[in-house]
A and B are shown apart, each in its own frame.
Chain A
């Protein structure tokens, strides 16, 4: 058989069989495979894109978080400062109040002491008056043993009474 003359029989079979194989594979073989792989490739690239987007969003979120933390710190500082200020204000106020109350109480106590002292003075005066009257009575009783003396005393007393009424008038 010749090497470079194409044999008609093989040509015939080749066209027939290759044609049939091509028809079957083009209809049920390759499109199914390539279609699925293309679908998977599309899915993969889509997933990659989504992952990148998610990454970007994550970065943005973490940045936001950082900002929020910084802001919170600032707020915290401010609040602490305000609290300290408020505390010192309250303390000062309390001190002031306490001082006022103390002053008031001291004043009250002073007034009461004054009153008590006055009452005591009055009492003492009255006691002294009573004592002096009693003493005078006793003196008088002892002196009024004789009539002369009794008259002299009455006179004196009368003089005095007159003088004092003169003075008053």
Chain B
């Protein structure tokens, strides 16, 4: 029994170390909200673990554009709380947790934060994967060989989206849009999966950040509305309805066109954020139960382990589904904008 508990605790120490910074606080009262938000929000350093009271983290560069460019390591500002004219906004203040000027206003902050670094890692990974795959196709004769290695891995995904674009946009001009849809799909899928990995090269909540999903949705929005046909604009601004209803319908249609990117943004953001919060809560249950003695801790550990595994697997499924839904809706919106007059 003791051995079993020891094994369980060892297993959990691994999980705890990567999911939580507060392993030592297990006996104290812990603020779940704070722990969870610390993990799902962006930060100036990439926290990995704590070891004997010292935190192990990657300090990322801060870049501020405010009367010229200021570049310094976030280590300075995080350890002392201030650096030059800048300090980190205290809890409860406006711009909480972000670098602000002495008067509390924000400079233009393009720091390489945790999410930006994750974004760069994902971008490089995506480029490497797809360009290697493309290289395979350039170097092999597809009429004589079936795809192998990375090409065999990527071909089903790429062709699934390519065929979806063909179906939703139409045979005439889906080739113009398929690269965008493919980039969006693979980028979201990769970012979602990287977000589930709990340690360094992944783990940042990139697609659970509203800025990331907003940019993706705006790319779709501009793609749809800058390449729409005359028929599409006529349907929005002068729909085929009786005279009195015309202005009303025009307002509704315009509003619906503007709401589409918002729904895309929020759907992806909320789904990924919720997934991360669920997994983090499962891990936090262990620490909440910590003060009720070994039996409760052991039981809660077992349960949260099982639920944690379940949620992690579910999260992999959701990663794929959300990436697919985002791409499918984008292709449907583009297809609607490419409609020709009947």
Contact = CB atoms under 8 A, between A and B. Distances in A.
Given A1-B43, A30-B178, A14 B211 contact: yes
Interface in A1-38: 1-15, 17-18, 20-22, 24-26, 28-34, 36-37
**Which A-B residue pairs are the 9 nearest by beta carbons?**
A26-B179, A6-B211, A10-B211, A14-B215, A29-B130, A32-B134, A36-B137, A1-B97, A40-B142
Given A8-B109, A30-B178, A21 B123 contact: yes
B331 interface: no
Contacts of B138: 32
B42 A7 contact: yes
Contact of A9 (B40, B116, B273): B116
B114 to A, nearest CB: 10
Interface in B104-137: 106, 108-113, 115-116, 119-120, 123, 126-127, 130-131, 133-134, 137
12 contacts: A3-B40, A3-B41, A3-B273, A10-B116, A10-B211, A14-B119, A22-B180, A24-B127, A25-B130, A26-B180, A29-B179, A32-B137
Given A1-B96, A33-B134, 9 more contacts: A6-B214, A9-B113, A15-B215, A18-B215, A30-B182, A32-B134, A33-B133, A33-B155, A37-B137
Give the bracket for the number of chain B residues in contact with chain A: 35 or more
Contacts of B126: 21, 25
A9 B183 contact: no
A39 interface: yes
Given A10-B42, A18-B187, A37-B159, A2 B137 contact: no
Nearest to B183: A22
Interface of B: 37, 40-43, 95-98, 106, 108-113, 115-116, 119-120, 123, 126-127, 130-131, 133-134, 137-138, 142-143, 151, 154-155, 158-159, 162, 175, 178-180, 182-183, 187, 209-212, 214-216, 219, 273
Contacts of B215: 11, 14-15, 18
A9 B43 CA distance: 12
Main secondary structure of the interface of A (DSSP, over half): helix
Contacts of B137: 32-33, 36-37
Given A1-B97, A36-B137, A17 B210 contact: no
Contacts of A11: 211, 214-215
B261 to A, nearest CB: 12
A71 interface: no
A43 interface: yes
B248 to A, nearest CB: 31
Contacts of B115: 10
Contacts of A29: 127, 130-131, 133-134, 179
Given A11-B215, A17-B123, A34 B162 contact: yes
Given A10-B113, A29-B130, A3 B143 contact: no
A24 B183 CA distance: 10
A93 to B, nearest CB: 72
Contact of B142 (A10, A17, A39): A39
A22 to B, nearest CB: 5
A10 B143 CA distance: 44
A3 B106 CA distance: 17
Given A21-B127, A39-B143, A9 B111 contact: yes
A34 B110 contact: no
Given A8-B109, A21-B183, A34 B178 contact: yes
Nearest to B186: A25
Given A10-B211, A13-B116, A37 B155 contact: yes
A8 B98 CA distance: 12
B142 A37 contact: yes
A18 B216 contact: yes
